[in-house]
Structure formats: structure tokens, C-alpha cells
Structure 1
Amino acid sequence: MKNFVSKFIGTLGYVIQYGCVAHCVFEYIGDFVLCSGPSMEPTIVSDDILFTEHVSTLRQTIKKGDIVIAKCPTNPKQQICKRVIGVQGEKIKTGFARYEIVPIGHVWLQGDNGNNSTDSRNYGPVPIGLIRSRAICKVWPPNSVTIL
């Protein structure tokens, strides 16, 4: 019995250590994200799985053209996948003859499928603090693996 308890505690210690390492990797280095919805078609279609990294977000080096995963400004329980169209200080055309300047600490996000995307055209500039990660590559389905 004593041997069993000793092995159990040792195994539990390893499980806790690996769990802590996994948590740190997924929280601060990168993780996988399942995208759903048509807003990023044809670049990313529904049910594609992306590998994302968190270092750019933590260092605040997100730039124009990056595809990012962010908390939705109108529903914090929802994650959105959009492309950065403009960064702070840039002028964005929002209508026929209407422009908006992206405020400091914000980005302008839009889906690649402009006809079917709820994005900054609806809710305005998004605070950089809502960005969770930057998409690196599409890893699923296997026949469409690509660097983004």
C-alpha cells in the first residue's frame, strides 16, 4: 500500500508539472483555434483550425495585414477572427466619402468576406487589449495547410 501511494503521488506530481507547462505554453506562446463562420472566406472557411501565437500580442507588434483572434467588442464571450486593416493613426475609408482615423491603442479589423462580416465597420475601432493572438498558419484540413 505504501508503495502504491508513493507511486501515485509521484505520478500526480508529474501530471501537475506537465499541466503547468502546457498552460504556460498555450497562454503565452501559442495555441490552436477553431474558426467558424463565413467572415474570412475564402482565406479561412468555417471549421478550419489555425495555429496562433501570443508573443506578437504580448509585445504589441501587431501590424497591418495580420490575421488576429480577438474578443468580440460587443460580446466578450465570443472570439472573432479578422484581418488588421489599419493601425493607430491611420485613416480608414468607411463609406463613399467618409473616413475615420484609428485612435491610439486601437486597430481596425475587417473580415475578408466584406459582404458577410460583422467587423469594425459595425462596431468601430477595436482596442489592442482585446486581441488575443495572431494567426500563423492553417493546419486543418490537411489538404489546405498554408502559412497566413
Structure 2
Amino acid sequence: MSLFGRASRLLFKGGIVTLQFACFVHLFNQHVAEFTFCVGPSMLPTFNLTGDIVLVEHISQRFKPLRAGDVIVCMSPAVPGRAVLKRIIGMPGDNICIDPTVPDRKYFDVPRGHVWVGGDNLSNSTDSRSYGPVAMGLIRGKVLARAWPGFTFIRNGLTPIDD
């Protein structure tokens, strides 16, 4: 076999291995867990304005239901294709206060198959107060930990564990 034939065969095998690895990474990110950036003021002080990298897992919601207080990543109902990081405020059937920051408070029953989400920084967050309840089908995963800066697990979705 010529040198060209051996080089092309090696290049072909390397391409196949690279393609298999890319498929594995894609499937892992879609169905098991992924790292993603957290940018914006809506989750201050739990997450920083910029630079936080969070670990989002996709498995637990298949075996254990989400709860109020869990921090999730979901697709924005207001901006298709954009993911948002928010805290679950209300679960299906809960009667929640739509906006606790206004004096004239109104209440809302979260419909079945939806959750009510909000940012920790209510004064600077676009959340369910703006776009209404979020369909559970738009939830991508639950935030398990802040990976950068400093690895910090998120305990029961409520508070960071600083060890």
C-alpha cells in the first residue's frame, strides 16, 4: 500500500473517532448533564452578574419531581431559542402571589403542567411576572452546582453550600 493510501486510511479512521466522540458529547449534554454560563442580574446574589458556570443535570426530573425552590434552566417563553436560569416559585395547583413587589397584590393558581418561575433579584428580573407560567416541557434541567468560580453545590435548590 502506498504512503498516500496509508495516510488517507489513518485520516479516515481519525475522522470516524472524532465524529463518534462528538456524537457522545452531544448526547451527554442533551440527556445527562451540561455546563452552561449564567449571565445577567436576575439571580443576584445567588449567582454573579457574569462569569458563573453552572452544572445543569437532566436526569433527576425523570425520577423525582421538581419542587418549589429548585433552580432550573428552561427555554424562555418570551424569546424562543433563549435559555433562562430561574427559581421555581410555584408548582402546578399552587396559589401564588403574582408580584410581591407591588402594593396591590394579586394571586394566581398555577395551571397543571406549568410552573411559576422568578429570579432571586425581583427588582431586575424578567420572569413569570412578565411572561406567565412556564410549561414544564420547556424545562431543560435542574442546576446542581456552580462550577466556576469555586465549585459550590446548590442544596435542595435553596441555598449554596459553602464548605
Answer whether TM exceeds 0.5 for this pair: yes
Asked if 2 retains the 8 angstrom alpha-carbon contact of 1:57 and 1:132, the reply is no
Give 1:39 deviation, angstroms: 0.5
Give 1:57 deviation, angstroms: 4.5
In the alignment, what sits opposite 2:65?
61
Q: Secondary structure at the match of 1:38?
A: coil
In the alignment, what sits opposite 2:27?
24
Q: Secondary structure at the match of 1:85?
A: strand
- Cα distance 1:60–1:120, how it changes in 2: closer, same or farther (>3 A)? farther
Give the letter for the 2:142 counterpart: R
Selected match of 2:147 from 136, 139, 145: 139
The alignment's C-alpha RMSD in Å is 1.5
In the alignment, what sits opposite 1:4?
7
User: How many residue pairs get matched?
Assistant: 146
Q: Percent of aligned pairs with the same residue?
A: 36
Is residue 98 from structure 1 mapped to residue 102 from structure 2 by the alignment? no
Selected match of 1:82 from 78, 86, 104: 86
Give 1:13 deviation, angstroms: 1.3
Give 1:56 deviation, angstroms: 3.3
Give the letter for the 1:110 counterpart: G
Residues 13-22 or 50-59, more deviating: 50-59
Is residue 52 from structure 1 mapped to residue 31 from structure 2 by the alignment? no
Cα deviation, 1:36-72, whole Å, max 9, x if unaligned, reads 1110000011221101011134557222111011111
Structure 1: any 5+ residue segments left out of the alignment? Answer: none
Give the letter for the 2:153 counterpart: I
TM-score norm. by structure 1 comes to: 0.92
Cα deviation, 1:85-124, whole Å, max 9, x if unaligned, reads 1110111012544210000000000001111111111211
Q: Which has the larger radius of gyration?
A: 2
After TM superposition, what 4+ stretches of structure 1 lie above 4 angstroms from structure 2? 57-60
Is residue 70 from structure 1 mapped to residue 74 from structure 2 by the alignment? yes
In the alignment, what sits opposite 1:36?
39
